[in-house]
Structure 1
């Protein structure tokens, strides 16, 4: 029976009719009546009527259910009997299925057993045959004998059969007989591999002796010896001992050479340390510590000369084993990688064992040199390998060895050193008189910090750079350029607030002093332009930046590198603008000083009966002299870009023209006012010696001549006419009637 929620019956505000409708199909009628009488006595009559109204439905439903019960009663017995029969049949079928499954499993075990016995018999016969063949074979000591060649071919056949036995027994290893036979096969294979190993060592040592005795690398070995060695190698490779073959070649041809070169390298390091200790000067004393570091140049270069040249017997074997050489058919051993595993891997292990500290950049210069020697050694090795062997070398051999090089620490040390070099040069900038020029990276610079920037970037790419570190070295170069831009910007801002004008008008000829701010700024601008030029295509910074770009980066990487260089050049433009503004301010101030003489023109002509002017006033030439002298300064400062230099001069003319325009406009306004006052007093202006030309006309004529002369001279010096000259001409256009 469903749970009755008595709280609903206890609620006096609950709708009784709704309550009856909800519970009448889930609660027996007597119980429902009792609950209603108990909790809703005040509505008893209504509830009784409601129940009586629905009671007929309950009675009708009960009658129909009784009819159904009577109709189903005759069918109950047959259905129960059928159910019992079905259960019995299910039990019998389950038993039969279980017996069939057991029979099937037994048959499978028998079949598996049969297969195992068949495999055991076949492989036991094959193993016994191999044992008999091995015992009966007797090779002659002469490589030219038929038995010698036959045994070498037979060894490869035995190796293939052993391989087949292992493959056959691997699938039936559950059988005890097959497992025991597999143990016997393993024991036989181990003994067989030991004999092959001994024979291969003897063959290789004999070939090495004969090679050294003949001393004709081009002749190589007799084909019979080469076939014997290749058959033995293939036999070992067939039974899974490729690494053993490579190790034997390394023992015979490589091990002694590596030890000899290690001793030579250590001896050279000790000799360098001894010489450094015995030197008495202070410079050598600073090198004593680094002299104890080992330079691996002797080790790696000697290995390249011994193993990667045409005189190398091991390289001769490697090429024959790769196949494809005329006259060497049948000697291929493609699973053996002699260069990678018999030369490169032993050499790298020798470095790890003998010089474990070489991977730490305690001495960055030695660390970089050793890493470069290692990289060159790998490149030389890859040149004598085929592509598959080179790929396997990089995937399986070089990963752990390359991780040992602490290149991240090295980059940190170099970054710190580069920043210190530029900072030290920047500190000298405030006291540097810019009188002595500095050479660096194929260029000549006025500022020590500029030269140091170029030296350091040259070191970054040509001395400090290591393969695989392109992103970090590129970032370091760009950071140095950004630091340099900030240093020059600080120099421009600081210099603009200190020092005098520096224009010596009394000198003969008038000139800019060497310590003048405009001169210093021009020399700084010259350096900055050279740095910007070095960032352009084929520049001293851009060229190594692009040449060192890894080939795997493709066109997208090249475009990105060019974009970085362009951004670096653009970042220096605000600094160049600061220098330009500083020069402009100084030169315009020097050019504008003589314009004060314009105010004296009226006093020169008024009431003095002066002749009509025919030439420019002296102040015009005085105002052009600072510009002419500064052009010489720019040329001396090696501003090679004529377009930029002319732009600067034109901006200076623009500034001076504005000052001239202001002075001329003030003069015209002042003379107009004076003329009006004189006319009111005397009815006309004063007259000079010429009855047709008044004093005012003479003033205006002189001013127009001065303006025209200034425009002509300034345009000539600046190689162009800036807009300010047109405005100056327009300022006096109204008085040209004179």
Structure 2
């Protein structure tokens, strides 16, 4: 970039231009970027004027440059005179050279083509020679094969395995040479070749069946080796399949055999497996992984393919899922049958090949497991759905036995039974593990959803117990059962892990994550039930707090004795919580009961404090009004004696001179003391209840009587 600027330096322009002239020399110069960078230098009119000024400078510089180099321009045109003639003089020799090169190229190509034709002819001659030699060998092999197989054509002669081996070798040589005969091989020779091969395979078949019948292991081994030599292993497997396996399975595998079998499908499978021990033991010994002959798989290609085909065509009734109990037994029996076949195969690679076989997959698909699961889903799910749809019987509900270790509502018991049924023997299949896990989550979720229905249930007034108590008992029962259901989840997880297929390698942590939503939902239901129980207890007790406002009416101008015991409404205020503790402590547990009662008394204490505060303020206002009225009367009657009026703001120790307002204050304090004692008797600490300490201080301030933690009554003071 620097060299370009040195060679082509722009002429200097006026110093007051609003742009830098060097920007025009940049390779990346852009009009848009130029305007964008100089937008703050001035308006468009200023930029236009400056560009016009600099354009004039450039034009002047261009004219000066042309004037300076004018002589060079003139010399350049003079030097070009006569250049065309010089070029024409050089062109003629070059054209001649070009023609000579083309002639030489054509000569070389002709020579190369001649050589290539000669090589192709030589190659063809070699091919013909080889084909003729192969044809001769084919003719010799046909004659030799005919001589070897002719003595064995007659039924009166025993098949000679040595001749079979020699014939097999000749057959291989024959097939090899036929490939190179090409067009020299005629149809007659091809027909003879096929006939010889078929004749050889037919005699091989007879010899193979004979060795199987005689259980001649040496002959069997020799025959299998000959089949391997001929590369006809599948032919040997087909011979064994059609001649040995098929007749036996046609007799054993049928609907009539299934119906007449004392052991049912198990008996059929036992007969099928007996075939292996009776007819295939020697073959398996020779062809297994450590056997003497390789390349055969009679279990899969001969035995299994025929068994599976017969079962699909002759015993299709076993696949019907209409009766789930029968389907389960047949499928479990089939799995054991397949496992026993795998044990016979032994080799892991062959077992994998067995499971990947198309007929194995087809056999597995015939067992309609999704339909079986759907039937089980409807059976089990309908039981829970019926229980959830059934209304709660208030009469039986109120009389049923309550316990902390069992479900008190039948819906939860049925839900847990349904979950257990999913995994019990006779229903659960490992192949449907993922479906049964999902079903378990659905059952648990349905039971959780039913809780909302149970909460909204209003017990009818057909029993001796009032509706609020029935409602409270229902909520407590629900809370106990939901708590127990939450505690059952770890047991459900353990059960699922025990039933899970080993290949999944499930852990409790993985399954616990699946049950997270169910745990959260149950926890939310428990919180809601706790809130409703507290609300019910508070609603039952709050109406009695209103009787605090009746205390002034009991003592004002009634000449009642000094209060020494609490008012009856206090007993009514405490009784619902006391009854709840006595009836449901075993159901909800001591810790949870303490939390319930704590929330109840926090709410009650707040309302009680407000009621007491209102009464004390009202009493104080009334007392001050009476005092002003009495002072006014005494001042008018006898001004001298007004100063001897006792201060009614404190309780007099002389009980005969205690005012009605003092009795009211003292009664409130006695009630508060009883209230605190009952709270502590229920197992709650005074510091756990908000506003309770302020309530005690409020009554102490009103009566001027200090009560300690031993809760002495004002009578004792």
Which TM-score applies when normalising by structure 1? 0.68
Change (3 A) 1:366 1:261: same
Change in CA separation of 1:113 and 1:598 when aligned onto 2, cut-off 3 Å: farther
Matched, 1:81 2:122: no
1:433-512 correspondence runs (5 A): 435=397, 445-462=407-424, 463-492=426-455, 494-495=456-457
Does the 8 A contact of 2:208 with 2:223 survive in 1? yes
* Residues in 2 aligned to 1:119 and 1:590: alpha-carbon distance in whole angstroms: 113
Partners of 2:400 and 2:297 in 1: CA distance = 54
Residue 565 and residue 230 in structure 1: after superposition, are their counterparts in 2 closer, same or farther (change >3 A)?
farther
CA–CA distance in structure 2, aligned partners of residues 371 and 651 of structure 1: 57
CA distance in 2, matches of 1:438, 1:700: 42
Query: Paired residue for 1:11?
Result: none
Report what 1:545 is aligned to.
Answer: 496
Offset at 1:449? 3.4
Q: Distance in 1 between matches of 2:652 and 2:471?
A: 48
| Counterpart-to-counterpart distance in 1, 2:130 and 2:395 | 99
**Unaligned 5+ runs, structure 1:** 1-52, 208-224, 272-296, 505-511
- The aligned residue for residue 17 of structure 1 is none
User: Aligned partners of 1:436 and 1:170: how far apart in 2?
Assistant: 98
Query: Does the C-alpha gap of structure 1 residues 660 and 196 become closer, same or farther in structure 2, counting only changes over 3 Å?
Result: farther
Residues 370 and 93 of structure 1: CA distance in aligned 2, closer, same or farther (over 3 Å): same
Q: CA deviation at 1:353?
A: 0.5
Deviations 1:177-220 (A, max 9, x none): 4998776555433322222222332333444xxxxxxxxxxxxx
Change in CA separation of 1:232 and 1:587 when aligned onto 2, cut-off 3 Å? farther
Say whether the 8 Å CA contact 1:611–1:689 is kept in structure 2: no
Matched with 1:390 is: 351
| Deviation (angstroms), 1:699 | 2.6
Distance of aligned partners of 1:75 and 1:243 in 2 relative to their CA distance in 1, 3 Å threshold: closer
Measure, in 1, the Cα distance between the counterparts of 2:481 and 2:693.
37
Match of 2:221 among 221, 224, 230: 230
Provide the residue aligned with 1:49 in structure 2. none
Residues 20-51 of structure 1, C-alpha deviations (whole Å, 9 max, x = no match): xxxxxxxxxxxxxxxxxxxxxxxxxxxxxxxx
Aligned counterpart, 2:35: none
The answer to whether the 8 Å contact 1:501/1:516 transfers is: no
Tell me which residue corresponds to 2:523: 573
Aligned partners of 1:204 and 1:252 also within 8 Å: no
Q: Which residue of 1 aligns with 2:278?
A: 313
Provide the rounded CA distance (Å) in 2 between the counterparts of 1:258 and 1:652: 80
> How many angstroms apart in 2 are the aligned matches of 1:651 and 1:154?
103
Partner of 2:674: 706
Q: Deviations over 1:594-652 (max 9, x none)?
A: 44444455555666463563x6555445444433433454467x55x654455445434
- Distance between the aligned counterparts of 1:261 and 1:531, measured in 2? 50
Structure 2 counterpart of 1:527, from 481, 484, 501: 481
Q: 2:114 aligns with which of 87, 99, 113?
A: 99
Q: Which residue of 2 is the match for residue 424 of structure 1?
A: 386
Aligned residue for 2:264? Answer: 298
* 1:59 to 1:664, Cα distance in 2 relative to 1, 3 A: same
Q: Which residue of 2 aligns with 1:217?
A: none
Secondary structure of residue in 2 paired with 1:236: helix
Please say if residues 208 and 220 of structure 2, whose CA atoms lie closer than 8 Å, have aligned partners that are also in contact. yes
1:426 and 1:449 in contact (8 A); partners too:
yes
Match of 1:376 in 2: 336
Q: SS of the residue aligned with 1:429? A: coil
The structural deviation recorded for 1:392 is 0.9
**In 1: Cα distance, 2:625 partner to 2:132 partner:** 141
1:43 equivalent in structure 2: none
For residue 363 of structure 2, what is the aligned residue in structure 1? 401
Q: Deviations over 1:649-706 (max 9, x none)?
A: 5434444444444444444444444444454445543868636975356235403421
Q: Deviations over 1:306-365 (max 9, x none)?
A: 3557993356346523557xxxx8x53443334434444333212210244654645555
Q: Does the CA contact (< 8 Å) of 1:528 and 1:576 recur in 2? A: yes
| Change beyond 3 A, Cα 1:202–1:446 | farther
- The equivalent of 1:516 in structure 2 is 470
Q: 1:204 aligns with which of 209, 212, 225?
A: 212
Conserved in 1, the CA contact under 8 Å of 2:253 and 2:310? Answer: no
**Distance (whole Å) between structure 2 residues aligned to residue 609 and residue 688 of structure 1:** 17
RMSD (Å), alpha carbons: 4.7
Aligned residue among 238, 252, 262 for 2:244: 252
CA distance in 1, matches of 2:155, 2:591: 90
Which one has the largest radius of gyration? 2
The 1-side partners of 2:197 and 2:398 are apart by 82
CA drift at 1:391: 0.7
Q: Per the alignment, do residues 332 and 562 of structure 1 end up closer, same or farther by CA in structure 2, a change over 3 Å counting?
A: farther
Q: Which residue of 1 aligns with 2:12?
A: none
**Retained in 1: the 8 A contact 2:286–2:292?**
yes
* Residue 352 (1) aligns with residue 343 (2): no
The 2-side partners of 1:688 and 1:77 are apart by 153
Checking the alignment, whether the CA contact within 8 Å between 2:395 and 2:462 is kept in structure 1 is: no
- Which of 264, 267, 271 lines up with 2:259 in the alignment? 267
- Cα distance change, pair 261–403 in 1 and its aligned pair in 2 (3 A): closer
Distance 1:469 1:351 in 2: 23
Would you say the 8 A contact 1:321–1:336 is kept in 2? no
Compute the TM-score of the two structures, normalised by the length of structure 2. Answer: 0.70
Aligned counterparts of 2:380 and 2:309: Cα–Cα separation in 1: 34
2:198 equivalent to 1:193: no
Tell me how far apart the structure 1 counterparts of residues 486 and 571 of structure 2 sit (CA, whole Å): 36
